[in-house]
Amino acid sequence: MKRIKSMLAFVMFMSVFVLGGCSNLTVLDPKGPVAEQQANLILFSIGLMLFIVVVVFVLFTLILVKYRERKSGPDYEPPDIEGSTFLEIIWTVIPIIILIALAIPTVKTIYALEEPPEATAHKEPVVIHATSVDWKWVFSYPEEDIETVNYIHIPEDRPILFKLASADSMGSFWIPSLGGQEYTMAGMMTELYLQADEPGEYRGRNSNFTGEGFADQVFTVTAETEEDYAEWVEEAQEAPELTQEKYNELMLKGHADEMTFSSTHLEWVNHAMDAEYATKVRNGLPLDEDNSHGSHEDHEDSEDEDHDSHKGHGDHDDHSKSEDKDTHSESH
């Protein structure tokens, strides 16, 4: 009993410490409708789970206190109870009911997150291609013709459609204040809707381990009013154009400072369709001859397969495959 008391005291002491130490639970402090849906789901599930935890802990404590040997004495011979179908049905059915209560909102939210947030669905989303490269983030705004490195600006109260890809290792695009993450993969495209409800600076990062520079593969998100955003776009459009040479430098492993350009790399490569680009640049292999059309052709080739392979596109250009084989093996 003394031990149980001291354990309880310890748990209480610890929880005070823990709760004191975490006033900034980003995930439970959502700044947009996507993160909000997720935070609500999380809080709902914590509630149900706490109920289960309390039931088990109370039963556990009562049984241990009541049936410990020091209390019942060494002569007490316990009855042999084989089981109880009635009780066992109860603790099969109740968890199933709890799980149904969890599964319905889960499935609803899973599907809801595939679409832009309901409240702003009528607004045209801002499309941003986010590409992870060891160990930096490259963002392209195809409609605005802007490219940034390691930072983005977004308008508030408008859905943002992130089209995610990776130039090399698999990353995960995550802005915890605005919503959950999604993988970035080379040769695949994944899509993620996010939205900010209020102006502010939010931290974004890669959360999927990518090796040496992983811890610093971060970016900042500035959410601002439509006017401020429009102003920023105009400003950014005056930045120098992105050359392929400059872009290829970004393909090399390493970190980069924040950068702004007034054209995008989508003109010559879309990593969602070309998994090989960064590897070729790093090994000095020849890039596709007609770059501006390369990705376009790939797209047509793989169109039949769009239905079964995620939302992405595999690179199925047989020509480039056979050409590269020899040069690639030499490089090792």
Residues 231-270 that bind other proteins (CB under 8 A): none
- Give min distance, CB of 236 to other proteins, in A: 26
CA distances from 236 to 48, 141, 208 (A): 48, 11, 30
Query: Cα(206)–Cα(175) distance, rounded to whole angstroms?
Result: 9
Can residue 1 be called a binding residue for other proteins (CB under 8 A)?
Answer: no
Q: Which two tokens stand for residue 329?
A: 């093996």
- Give min distance, CB of 225 to other proteins, in A: 25
Can residue 205 be called a binding residue for other proteins (CB under 8 A)?
Answer: yes
Beta-carbon count within 10 A of 126 CB: 20
- Give min distance, CB of 185 to other proteins, in A: 7
Query: Cα(289)–Cα(279) distance, rounded to whole angstroms?
Result: 16
Can residue 8 be called a binding residue for other proteins (CB under 8 A)?
Answer: no
- Give min distance, CB of 306 to other proteins, in A: 12
Q: Closest CB to other proteins among 260 and 270?
A: 270
Query: Cα(31)–Cα(177) distance, rounded to whole angstroms?
Result: 5
Q: Closest CB to other proteins among 37 and 260?
A: 37
Can residue 95 be called a binding residue for other proteins (CB under 8 A)?
Answer: yes
Can residue 172 be called a binding residue for other proteins (CB under 8 A)?
Answer: yes
Q: Closest CB to other proteins among 207 and 237?
A: 207
Can residue 169 be called a binding residue for other proteins (CB under 8 A)?
Answer: yes
Closest CA to 203 of 181, 177, 226, 228: 177
The answer to whether residues 102 and 155 touch, using CB atoms and an 8 Å cutoff, is: no
Q: Which residue among 31, 32, 33, 37 contacts other proteins (CB under 8 A)?
A: 37
Can residue 209 be called a binding residue for other proteins (CB under 8 A)?
Answer: yes
Q: Closest CB to other proteins among 20 and 227?
A: 20
Contacts for 86-93: CB closer than 8 Å, 24+ residues apart:
none
Residues 63-92 that bind other proteins (CB under 8 A): 63-64, 67-69, 72, 74, 76-84, 87-88, 91-92
- What is the three-class DSSP state of 163? strand
- What is the three-class DSSP state of 241? coil
